[in-house]
Amino acid sequence: MDYAGAELEADFHTRWGLDIHDFFRGRYPWGKLLRLVERLPTASEYRNLVLKDRGLAEVLLAEESQDPEYRRLDEGELDLPFTDETPTYQQLRNVTDLLRQLIYVTAANAKAQPPEPSPRPETALDKLRHEVAQDTLDDALMQLIGETW
């Protein structure tokens, strides 16, 4: 409970009206605790903590790289929203992006830059993958053009 105790306590209280300490007092079985943790919504304090944890992301990335059977999910195959991130909010952001693109196509002049998509939440694992890919690209570029660049 040292890792995410406060987050779990807040989530259990707001979501189910439960005192997480009742599990330690023996009022509820431990299996129930585990089942409830698995059922926490993606927009919970606990899930936000886990998805933003860089240390956990490093462990997961190391496991991925050592497992020859690991299949990385395709882009968009896994949706990872965070605290305050709901399906409704995601759809509103998508509509906003589409409207901005429509305005760009119909009203922009030739010199205008296309609109950037609205920012999306990014997990620590996604950030780490991006850094590793960027480092690999930088290393390859250095081999091609040399250190003098």
> What does the pLDDT read at residue 77?
46
Query: Is residue 27 domain-shared with residue 99, that is, in the same domain?
Result: no
Specify the number of domains making up the chain. 3
Q: Give the pLDDT score at 121.
A: 83
Q: Are residues 34 and 94 in the same domain?
A: no
Answer whether 28's CB lies under 8 Å from 22's CB: yes
Q: Judge whether 139 lies within some domain.
A: yes
Residues 79 and 125 in one domain: yes
Instruction: Note the pLDDT of residue 49.
Output: 94
148 occurs within a structural domain: yes
pLDDT score at 76: 47
Q: Quick one: 125 exposed, middle or buried, by C-beta within 10 A (0-12, 13-18, 19+)?
A: buried
DSSP 109: -
Which of 116, 31, 129 is CA-nearest to residue 80?
Answer: 129
- Residue 61 in any domain: the answer is yes
95 shares its domain with 28 = no
Residue 92 and residue 79 in one domain:
no
Q: Are residues 6 and 60 in the same domain?
A: no
Return phi, psi of residue 80, to 5°: -120, 80
Mark whether 79 and 128 lie in a shared domain: yes
Per-residue model confidence (pLDDT) at position 96: 95
Q: What is the DSSP letter of 148?
A: T
Residue 132 lies in a domain: yes
Q: Give domain status of residue 94, yes or no.
A: yes
pLDDT value at position 149?
53
* Within a domain: 47: no
Burial zone of 140 (CB within 10 Å; 0-12 exposed, 13-18 middle, 19+ buried)? exposed
How much is the pLDDT for 92?
A: 93
For the chain of 149 residues, list the mean pLDDT of each consecutive stretch of 10.
91 96 95 93 89 91 78 52 74 94 85 87 87 90 76
User: What is the residue range of 25's domain?
Assistant: 1-40
> Does 91 fall in a domain?
yes
Torsion of CA 18, 83, 96, 123, to 10 degrees: -140
Residue 111 lies in a domain: yes
